[in-house]
Amino acid sequence: MKLWQIYLRGMLMGAADIVPGISGGTIAFITGIYERLINSLRSFDLTLWSVWKKTGLPGVYKAVDATFLITLLAGVLSSVLLLSHLISWLLTSYPLHLNGLFFGLVAGSAIIISREMGGWTLNQLFFMLLGGVFATFISLILPSIGSITPVTFFIAGMLAICAMILPGISGSFLLLTLGLYGPLVEAVKALNLTFIAAFAIGASSGLLVFSHLLGWLFDHFRAATFAVLFGFVIASLKHIWPWQFLTSYRINEQGEMLLLDTQVLLPWKYTQITNLPSYQLSVLVLMLIGLLAVIYLASRNK
């Protein structure tokens, strides 16, 4: 794979992680780099010391697939810095259309993940249910984080990166539930290096630990792991369904209203309840485009 292709995938992952509802891990899976990313991250372990003694820095660089990681990270960071304003504007101005496109992408990824499960046995159905239940109640399992400090951003980074690396679980949605999505976006816009560095260090720490766990699961329980991921993805579709009505929320310490739960509506019911246009045709077209794009990319990556 060429460097510009890896960089482009990083930009897509960064753009996805900005949006509450879609995971950068989903984009990595769709574009065929997911397992390479996990394997590259899990290579950061104690064995690198022996590699360093034998072959020096070039050996370590090759062992961790550093060219791939650096190029991908550059794409993610540049996307976050360049597109944070655009994504914020799209979420405000065209939320139904944006969620429609992402719904198609995530639904397509569910189809691709299902092909890796090894069948529809009772065991697989159990793991699918397990993944779906965990994804559904993850916002209730994790506590709300209070005051905004560098330590808060460090903890948020660890939690969010674990979600971001999993297809179907949005780190941005988790941050939104914890009341830290807005502060993080503002920190990026204002280039608050203290908060950004704290979040990055927390994310790096969580990423290294979680990637080892995921890599081990892929090695020993591949089919079951994909079944859990399939459950994650299916449950996550609720969060990015375009036509929703707010049913539950809370107020954080800054006086902001934070989304907790919504009711999924059909397009015509959405218009009846909210008195807002549903843009049904254009949103459905974007859903279809997203779905077909995933299937096409998966066939190319095969």
Q: Check if the beta carbon of residue 179 is closer than 8 Å to that of residue 155.
A: no
Instruction: Write the CA distances from 105 to 31, 145, 284, integer angstroms.
Output: 11, 31, 12
Q: Identify the pLDDT of residue 117.
A: 82
Amino acid letter, residue 299? S
How far the first Cα of the chain sits from its last, in Å, is 13
Query: 258 - beta bridge partners?
Result: 250
pLDDT band at 67 (very low <50, low <70, confident <90, very high): very high
Q: Residue 42: which of 66, 75, 10, 64 has the closest Cα?
A: 64
Q: Identify the pLDDT of residue 293.
A: 82
Q: Identify the pLDDT of residue 143.
A: 47
Higher pLDDT, 246 or 206: 206
Please give the tally of structural domains in the chain.
Answer: 1
Residue 283 reports pLDDT greater than 90: yes
Higher pLDDT, 27 or 179: 27
pLDDT, tens only, 71-103: 999 998 888 888 777 777 887 888 899 888 888
Q: For 245, phi and psi rounded to 5 degrees?
A: -130, 130
Residue 139 reports pLDDT greater than 70: no
DSSP, res 277: -
| Residue that has been written with the tokens 């070039």 in this structure | 58
Structural domain span for residue 248 = 3-301
Assign residue 21 a region (left: φ > 0; alpha: ψ between -120 and 50; beta: otherwise).
left
DSSP, res 31: T
Q: Identify the pLDDT of residue 28.
A: 85
| Tokens describing residue 222 | 């591949």
% of the chain residues with pLDDT over 90? 14
pLDDT band at 7 (very low <50, low <70, confident <90, very high): very high
Instruction: Write the CA distances from 165 to 93, 241, 292, integer angstroms.
Output: 28, 21, 23
Q: Identify the pLDDT of residue 152.
A: 81
Q: What's the gap between Cα 242 and its chain centre?
A: 18
Q: Identify the pLDDT of residue 120.
A: 84
Q: Residue 199: which of 146, 156, 258 has the closest Cα?
A: 156
Q: Identify the pLDDT of residue 113.
A: 81
% of the chain residues with pLDDT over 70? 84
Q: How many other CB atoms are there within 10 angstroms of residue 38's CB atom?
A: 21
pLDDT band at 173 (very low <50, low <70, confident <90, very high): low
| Residue that has been written with the tokens 């069948």 in this structure | 119
| Tokens describing residue 26 | 């989903």
**Rounded to whole angstroms, how far apart are CA atoms 16 and 106?**
11
Q: Identify the pLDDT of residue 21.
A: 59
pTM as predicted: 0.70
**Rounded to whole angstroms, how far apart are CA atoms 83 and 274?**
30
Higher pLDDT, 272 or 175: 272
Please state, rounded to an integer, the average pLDDT across all residues of the chain. 81
Name the least confident of 56-60, 182-186, 273-277: 182-186
pLDDT, tens only, 11-54: 888 887 776 656 788 788 878 888 888 888 888 887 888 888 88
| Average pLDDT estimate for 60-74 | 92
Q: Check if the beta carbon of residue 70 is closer than 8 Å to that of residue 11.
A: no
pLDDT, tens only, 240-277: 789 988 776 666 555 655 556 678 889 999 999 888 99
Query: 261 - beta bridge partners?
Result: 248
